[in-house]
Chain A
Amino acid sequence: MDKREEVLLISGVDVLKCMRCGKCSATCPSYDEMEYHPHQFVYMVETGNIEPLLSSESLYKCLSCFACVERCPRGVEPAKVVEAVRLSAIRQKGANHLKAENVPELIDDDTPQQLLMSAFRKYSK
């Protein structure tokens, strides 16, 4: 299975529905932190240009806040595309973005469990 097919299967998204209005990126709270923005994820998956996404830090900036999912006028659900590319990257052996041994230096006394759970689910397999 090629990467494009894999990402489409994991996400369940029909990228051809996108009409390139850019609303997903306009509403993205992580826009400033991203090298590739949500609308670019959708287009690059559509055209099969996935390699640059797999190695980009942008994968780890999506907050899964569903703003793009809620506001896309075509129901494309860009966050699901970002999630699928991220999973395609971190499901490879040794490719975890967050390692348990690094956690102690990243937390403080108030860090809620919810933060650790969410981060591990997003960054590691």
Chain B
Amino acid sequence: MVFSYYPGCTLKSKATELDRYARLSASALGFELEEIENWQCCGGVYPMAKDEIATKLSSIRALNDAKMHGQDLLTLCSACHNVIKQVNNDMQTNEDIRTRANNYLQLDEPYLGETKVVHYLEVLRDTIGFEELKKKVVNPLKGKKIAAYYGCLLLRPGSVLKMDDPENPKIMEDLIKALGATPVVYPMRNECCGGYLSLDDKEAVAKRREKVVQSAAEFGCDCMITACPLCMYNLKKNEDQIPVYYFTELLAEALGVKE
């Protein structure tokens, strides 16, 4: 199984581990990530304005590239996933945006939202299957209590991202179980970490971070996992010194391919 792969800007620089362990794990699980050529940054946040086209073009170019290859478009970073899935939804449902974007892009044939966008976690659940994944675990993470942190971008808006129940998700808890560890469910797992405010208002982000991490710590976790480089940046400075890992690192460790 081959997927068109959109790594995004941060996976090429500050979050190389998220990318590297995903690639190693994919090989171990028998699927291939074919990085699309000349991808451009998604912009990090979904452009909500109905009258903006320019900020949506990089996503549309990536979506169209996957379409030309006849492949699903796989994302890994929560932000890329959120932006590209939401822009794809615009191309499927908003005639005005679709028309104006295609007028500008002048592709060989118009892009009408044909590509399916999947997050790496969705591939693990829906293509590989957690039962199959479990069979390939050579180094079960026995006794580890892991708190999955979804944050905001992975799940919302639920009606567009259609990844999991946005208020009571279980995709990462199911992954944690498949890896042989124990999931820790806690109230703040799908509340925002403070996101991009950490440039402009570091105090506000510190408050958010401590609320999230203390909630996880209260429910007895040893560590936390995330799919988002910005959540990682914000959460890892926590006062409780709870370690935070990319989910792909623990996946690679359990599959015995962590280098």
Of A64, A80, A112, A121, which contacts B229 at CB under 8 A?
Answer: A112
From B15, B47, B197, name the one whose CB has the most chain A CB atoms within 10 angstroms: B197
Residues of A within 8 Å of B51, CB to CB, are 9-10
Instruction: Let me know if B9 and A117 touch, CB within 8 A.
Output: yes
Q: Tell me what chain B mostly uses at the interface: helix, strand, loop, or mixed.
A: loop
Task: Please report the total number of A residues contacting B with Cβ < 8 Å.
Answer: 40
Answer whether residue B110 sits at the interface, using C-beta atoms and an 8 A cutoff: no
Question: Chain A: which residue is nearest B8 at the CB level?
Answer: A114
Answer whether residue B138 sits at the interface, using C-beta atoms and an 8 A cutoff: no
Interface size class of B (residues with CB under 8 A): 35 or more
- Binary B-proximity of A1-15 (CB < 8 A = 1, otherwise 0): 000000001111000
Instruction: Let me know if B45 and A64 touch, CB within 8 A.
Output: yes
Residues of A within 8 Å of B113, CB to CB, are none
Of A11, A32, A63, A116, which contacts B48 at CB under 8 A?
Answer: A11
CB distance from A125 to the nearest CB of B (A): 10
Residues of A within 8 Å of B153, CB to CB, are 65
- Binary A-proximity of B159-183 (CB < 8 A = 1, otherwise 0): 0000000110000000000000000
Please give me the 3 A-B residue pairs with the lowest Cβ-Cβ distance, nearest first: A65-B152, A118-B44, A65-B192
Residue positions of B touching A, CB distance < 8 A: 8-10, 13-15, 41, 43-51, 55, 77, 79, 151-153, 156-158, 166-167, 191-192, 194-201, 204, 207-208, 228-230, 232-233
Residue positions of A touching B, CB distance < 8 A: 9-12, 29-30, 32-33, 60-61, 63-67, 69-70, 79-80, 83-84, 87, 97-98, 103, 106-107, 110-119, 121-123
